[in-house]
Amino acid sequence: MNTLLWAAVPYVAIAILVVGTFWRYRYDKLGWTTRSSQLYESRLLRIGSPLFHFGILVVIIGHIIGLVIPESWTDAMGVSHDAYHIQALVLGAIAGFSTLAGVAILIYRRRTNGPVFMATTRNDKAMYVALVAAIITGLATTLIGAGIVADEHNYRETVSIWFRSLFTLNPDIDAMAEAPLSFQIHTLFGLLLIATIPFTRLVHMFSAPIGYLFRPYIVYRSRDARPDRPIYRNRDGVRTRQRAGRR
Amino acid sequence: MKVMAQVAMVMNLDKCIGCHTCSVTCKQAWTNRPGTEYVWFNNVETRPGQGYPRTYEDQERWRGGWERTKRGRLRLKGGGRVRRLLSIFSNPKLPSLQDYYEPWTYDYDNLINAPLGDQMPVAQPRSLISGDPMKVEWSANWDDNLAGGPQLAVDDPVLKKVSDQVKLEFEQTFMFYLPRICEHCLNPSCVASCPSGAMYKRSEDGIVLVDQDACRGWRMCVTGCPYKKVYFNHRTGKAEKCTLCYPRIEVGLPTVCSETCVGRLRYLGLILYDADKVLEAAAVEDEKDLYQAQLDVLLDPNDEEVVEAARREGIAEDWISAAQRSPIHRLIKEYRVALPLHPEYRTMPMVWYIPPLSPVVDQVRDTGHDAEEAGNLFGAIDALRIPIEYLAELFTAGDTAPVDAVLRKLAAMRSYMRDVNLGRETRPEIPAGVGMTEESMHAMYRLLAIAKYEDRYVIPTAYEEAGRQLEEMSCSLDYDGGPGMYINGSGPFGEASGQPVPVSVETFHALRHRQTTDTLAGPENKEQRVNLLNWDGQGRPAGLFPERQEDGDA
C-alpha cells in the first residue's frame, strides 16, 4: 500500500502533468487561457483574485523552501529549529489564509453572480473541489506541524526527504509512511491537483508572462511566419471540393 | 532609414450620414459569434457624444495609450511592465460590460406561444449575458443623433476639454458622425501592453492582429488601447479586434466597412514610413507637434531615395507603385486635408479623418447667407470657435491652426467648384488663397467628391508567392478534421477550446445553426438563434413555421 501511494502515485501524477500539458498545448492552444470573467463582475474579483493569486504564489515559494532545502542547510546557516518553524508557521498561515479567503470570495462570486456562474463549466467545478481540498488540508498541516492543533511534527525529516528522493528515482517510502495522516492526505490531494492541472483552466499558470519584462514593446511578425495550422497541411495536395466530407 | 509599408484608411466625415451600414456589415462578417455580442469592431459615434464604450477618451480614467516621461521617453500610461504584471490578476482599468452595454435579444417565442389573453403578447428584452429579462438602458449608439441631448452629451470628454461652459442649446448645437475602427497604429500601445506577446504588427502591411493561439486572456491590451478597440471575448477568454479585413486586403479587396459604405467616404491605400523615426516622433515634447511629427514619419513614395530604400527592404514593385498611387498619401501629405484621431495618445494612429465642414456650412445656411460663397465660409470658420476647437481636440491635440487650414481648403473647393459647375468664370485666387493650384483643386475634387471606386481603393495584393497561404479563402472546409470540428461551440475545456476553427468555418456553422433553430438565445447555445436578418429564405428554420405532419426536409 505504501509503495503504491508513495512510489507509484507520485510518478503517475508527474507523468500525467508532463504528458498532459504537452498534449493540451498541442491539441488546445485556443482553449489555453485564463478564461477571465472580469467583464461580468469586477468588484469582488478585485479583492478575491489578487488575494488568492498572491497568496498561492507565496504558498508555492513556501513549499519549495520547505521541501527542497534540506534541514542540514538551514542548520548550517545558523537558523535554529524553532526559528525556522516560527517563520514557516507565520508565513505559511498568512499565505494559506489569504489563499483560502481569496478562493472563498471567488467561489462565492462564482455562485452568486448569474453570468459568472453560467460561464462555469463542470470542469471548473471539479477543479475547485480539488483546489480547495488541497488548500484546506495544507493549512491544516501547517497548523498541525507547528504543534498548535496536535503534536508537533517536523515534516522536514519525513515529507521533505521523501520529496527529494522522488527526483533521484529512489523514493524513500518509509520516510513518507512515517508522516502523520494529515500530511499524507494533503500530499495525496496535492498530487491529485498536479495530475489534473493539464486538463483544467489551471494551465494558465504555465503561461505566466515573465518574458514580458524582457521583450521589446512592439512585436512585429511577418505574414509568412504563421504557426503551422492544420489548414496548410494539404498545401501541396490537389485542391478538391470536398465541402461536406472529411479527409 | 528603414522603410515599411502600412495599409491606412482615410474617412471623409463630411459625407458620413450616420447610417451605421459599416457597423452592421462588419458585425455580420466578424462579430456575430458568442462572446462578441457587445463587440463592434466598427462603430459610428455621434459627436459630441460619449462614444463607445462610454467616455473612452477620458484617459485620466482609462489610462490608455502612451505618456511622455520627464526624461523624454515613452511609457505606457497604464504603468510600466512591472506594474502591468502586478495588476494581472485583476485589471483595475478594464471597462465593465456596462461601460460598453449589456447585449440583449427579445423573447420572440412569447409572441406565438403566449396563452390567449386580453393583452397583446410582447417580446420582452432578455440579456444575452445572463438570459434574464432586462431593462434596455444603453447601447453602442444610445446617444445617436444627440439623443439624450444635454444630459448625455455633457459627459463627452472632448467637449469638457473645449470649454467648461459649453451650452448645448438647440440653436447652438453642431453635430457630426465619427465612424471608428482600429487605428492600426505605428506605435501600438495594445501590442506593447500584451504580456504574452500575442499581439503583433504585421511587418508587411502594418495590420495589428491578435494571435488567438498565443493570447492567454490577460486583458491588458483592452486597457492599453486608448481607442478601446481591442475587445475581450468573454466566451473564449481571448482578445479580439478589427483585422482590417486582412483576408480581403490580401487579395486586393477593400474592407467590408469600406465596401459597403453608402456614402463612399472611406479610402484605403498604402503609405510608406520610416520605422526608425516612429519612436522619436511619438515622443515629441509638445502634444501639438505630434500631428506634424507624424507627417514627417511618412515618406514620399515618389522620392527616388525612398523607392531605393524600399526595394532594399524587400518591398515589391507593385507595392511601391501602389504607394505612389495611394489616395491616402495624397489626402494626408499632398493636400493635407486628413488628420489623425487623437494624436496626443502618441500611438501614431493610421486611420485618418477629413474633418467635416458641415457644421460650418449649416450655420452659414441657417443664417440665410450663401453657404457656398468662399468669403462667407471663411468668415464662419473664423467665427465658429466651438466646433473648430472641438475638432481640434479630436484631431490635433487642441491646435486649431491645422483644422482651420483643412476647413479652408474644403470651403475653397466648395466655392471654386461651384463656379466650374455653373459655367462661370473660375476664380484662381480661391485655390491660391489656400495654397493650392487650380489643377490640384480639380484633382482633390475628383478624389473627394467624385470618389471613384478605383480611386478610393488602391490595394496591392499579397505577393504571388504567398498566394498558396491564402488557401483558407478558397477551400476553408477542406482540411484535416474538416468542418465537423465545430462541436456546438464548446470543447471539453470550455468555450472554443480544442483545435482552431477557421473563421469561415465557424461562420458557416453559426449561420446554419441560427437558421435552423428557434430556441431563445440562451448563453449556453448562443449560436442557435433564429436571426431573421440572416435568414435568406432558404430552408425551414425549425421554429419559424408550424410543424408539418410528415417529417419533411431538414
The residue out of B413, B436, B459 marking a domain boundary is: B436
Closest by CA position to B304, among listed B322, B325, B320, B326: B320
Contact B272, B205 (CB under 8 A): no
Residue of B67, B86, B90 to mutate when probing chain A, most A C-beta within 10 A = B90
Sequence letter at residue A75? D
**Rounded to 5 degrees, what are φ and ψ at B44?**
-120, 120
Instruction: Work out the number of other CB atoms within 10 angstroms of the CB of residue B122.
Output: 11
pLDDT at position B462 is 79
Whether the pLDDT of residue A243 is over 70: the answer is no
Domain housing B511: 487-546
Give the rounded distance of the alpha carbon of B187 from its chain centre. Answer: 17
Cell numbers 486628413: residue: B338
Residues in B closer than 8 angstroms to A233, CB to CB, are: 479-480
Between A70 and A236, name the one with better pLDDT. A70
Of B450-464, B472-486, B518-532, highest mean pLDDT: B450-464
User: Within this chain, do residues B367 and B429 fall inside the same structural domain, yes or no?
Assistant: yes
Residue of B194, B234, B497, B499 to mutate when probing chain A, most A C-beta within 10 A = B497
Sequence letter at residue B32? N
Mean pLDDT of chain B, nearest integer: 87
Q: Which among B96, B484, B496 has CB closest to A30? A: B496
Q: Which three cell numbers stand for residue B506?
A: 465557424
Residue of A23, A231, A238, A240 to mutate when probing chain B, most B C-beta within 10 A = A231
Q: How far from each other are the two terminal CA atoms of chain A, in whole angstroms?
A: 48
Full 3-state SS string of B476-497: CCCCCCCHHHCCCCEECCEECC
Contact B230, B222 (CB under 8 A): yes
Indicate the burial class of A1 (C-beta count within 10 angstroms; 0-12, 13-18, 19 or more): exposed
Report ipTM (2 d.p.): 0.86
What does the alpha-carbon distance between residue B183 and residue B142 come to, in Å, rounded to a whole number? 23
Interchain pair B197, A45: CB under 8 A: no
Question: If you average pLDDT over residues B47-67, what whole number do you get?
Answer: 94
Mean pLDDT of chain A, nearest integer: 87
Q: Which among A31, A37, A233 has CB closest to B498? A: A31
Cell numbers 495589428: residue: B208
Residue B184 forms part of a structural domain: no
Question: If you average pLDDT over residues B147-172, what whole number do you get?
Answer: 75
Contact B517, B541 (CB under 8 A): yes
**How distant is the Cα of B297 from the closest Cα of chain A, in angstroms?**
17
pLDDT at position B549 is 60
pLDDT band at A231 (very low <50, low <70, confident <90, very high): very low
pLDDT band at B72 (very low <50, low <70, confident <90, very high): very high
Whether the pLDDT of residue A120 is over 60: the answer is yes
A188 Cβ contact partners less than 8 Å away, ≥ 6 residues apart: A5, A9
A120 Cβ contact partners less than 8 Å away, ≥ 6 residues apart: A110
What does the alpha-carbon distance between residue B227 and residue A224 come to, in Å, rounded to a whole number? 28
**Rounded to 5 degrees, what are φ and ψ at B201?**
-105, 125
Q: Label residues A152-186 b or e (16+ Cβ within 10 Å = b).
A: ebebbebbbbbbbbbeeeebbbebbebbbebbbbb
Of A226-230, B360-364, B515-519, highest mean pLDDT: B360-364
Residue of B7, B128, B134, B216 to mutate when probing chain A, most A C-beta within 10 A = B216
Distances (CA, A) of B445 to A80, B329, B331, B337, B362: 87, 16, 11, 12, 20
Percent of chain A with pLDDT over 70: 89
Q: Which three cell numbers stand for residue B270?
A: 498604402
Three-state SS for B319?
helix
The residue out of B436, B456, B477 marking a domain boundary is: B436
Sequence letter at residue A15? A
Cross-strand bridge partners of residue B105: B126
Name the residue of chain A whose CA is nearest to B96's CA: A39
Interchain pair B466, A28: CB under 8 A: no
Question: If you average pLDDT over residues A80-86, what whole number do you get?
Answer: 85
What does the alpha-carbon distance between residue A138 and residue A144 come to, in Å, rounded to a whole number? 10
Q: Which three cell numbers stand for residue B262?
A: 453608402
pLDDT at position B504 is 67
Cross-strand bridge partners of residue A221: B202
* Domain A2-216, second-level architecture: Up-down Bundle (1.20)
**Number of domains within chain B:** 2
Whether the pLDDT of residue A67 is over 60: the answer is yes
What does the alpha-carbon distance between residue A99 and residue A97 come to, in Å, rounded to a whole number? 5
Interchain pair A31, B497: CB under 8 A: yes
CA contacts within 13 A on the Cβ side of B467: 5
What does the alpha-carbon distance between residue B339 and residue B357 come to, in Å, rounded to a whole number? 14
Interchain pair B482, A241: CB under 8 A: no
Percent of chain B with pLDDT over 90: 70
What does the alpha-carbon distance between residue B374 and residue B408 come to, in Å, rounded to a whole number? 9
Whether the pLDDT of residue A143 is over 50: the answer is yes
**Residue A179 DSSP symbol:** S
Give the rounded distance of the alpha carbon of B269 from its chain centre. Answer: 16
Question: If you average pLDDT over residues A94-105, what whole number do you get?
Answer: 96
Strands B43-47, B176-180: pairing is antiparallel
Contact B52, B141 (CB under 8 A): yes
pLDDT at position B484 is 42
Whether the pLDDT of residue A61 is over 70: the answer is yes
Q: Does B211 touch chain A (CB under 8 A)?
A: yes
pLDDT at position B483 is 44
Whether the pLDDT of residue B244 is over 70: the answer is yes
Question: If you average pLDDT over residues B68-83, what whole number do you get?
Answer: 93
The residue out of B436, B451, B475 marking a domain boundary is: B436
Instruction: Work out the number of other CB atoms within 10 angstroms of the CB of residue A9.
Output: 16
What does the alpha-carbon distance between residue A186 and residue A58 come to, in Å, rounded to a whole number? 17
Closest by CA position to B266, among listed B5, B7, B548: B7
Residue B385 forms part of a structural domain: yes
Q: What is the CATH number of the domain that holds B427?
A: 1.10.3650.10
Residues in A closer than 8 angstroms to B214, CB to CB, are: 29
pLDDT at position B308 is 96
Q: Which among B217, B474, B482 has CB closest to A33? A: B217
Question: If you average pLDDT over residues B220-245, what whole number do you get?
Answer: 96
Contact B219, B91 (CB under 8 A): yes
Q: Which three cell numbers stand for residue B280?
A: 522619436
Q: Does B474 touch chain A (CB under 8 A)?
A: yes
Question: If you average pLDDT over residues B126-137, what whole number do you get?
Answer: 92
Q: Which three cell numbers stand for residue B442?
A: 480639380
Per the rule left: phi > 0, alpha: psi between -120 and 50, beta: everything else, B368 is: left
Q: Does B36 touch chain A (CB under 8 A)?
A: no
pLDDT band at B220 (very low <50, low <70, confident <90, very high): very high
Q: Which three cell numbers stand for residue B169?
A: 442649446
CA contacts within 13 A on the Cβ side of B194: 28
Q: How far from each other are the two terminal CA atoms of chain B, in whole angstroms?
A: 62
pLDDT at position B523 is 39
Instruction: Work out the number of other CB atoms within 10 angstroms of the CB of residue B480.
Output: 12
Q: Which among A29, A209, A233 has CB closest to B480? A: A233
Residue B532 forms part of a structural domain: yes
Q: Which three cell numbers stand for residue B345?
A: 495618445
List, for residues B291-330, the tens digit of each pLDDT value: 999 999 999 999 999 999 999 999 999 999 999 999 999 9
Interchain pair A28, B491: CB under 8 A: yes
Q: Output Rg (C-alpha) for chain B, integer angstroms.
A: 25
Q: Does B236 touch chain A (CB under 8 A)?
A: yes
Q: Which three cell numbers stand for residue B274?
A: 520610416
pLDDT at position B61 is 95
List, for residues B459-507, the tens digit of each pLDDT value: 998 765 455 455 544 444 444 444 444 444 556 676 666 666 666 676 6
Of A153-162, B281-290, B454-463, B542-551, highest mean pLDDT: B281-290
Of the ranges A48-62, A120-134, B463-477, which one carries the lowest mean pLDDT score? B463-477
A204 among annotated binding-site residues: yes
CA contacts within 13 A on the Cβ side of B532: 6
pLDDT at position B383 is 85
Interchain pair A241, B475: CB under 8 A: yes
pLDDT at position B133 is 94
Between B546 and B139, name the one with better pLDDT. B139
pLDDT band at B159 (very low <50, low <70, confident <90, very high): confident
pLDDT at position B508 is 72
Strands B74-76, B199-202: pairing is unpaired
Whether the pLDDT of residue A203 is over 80: the answer is yes
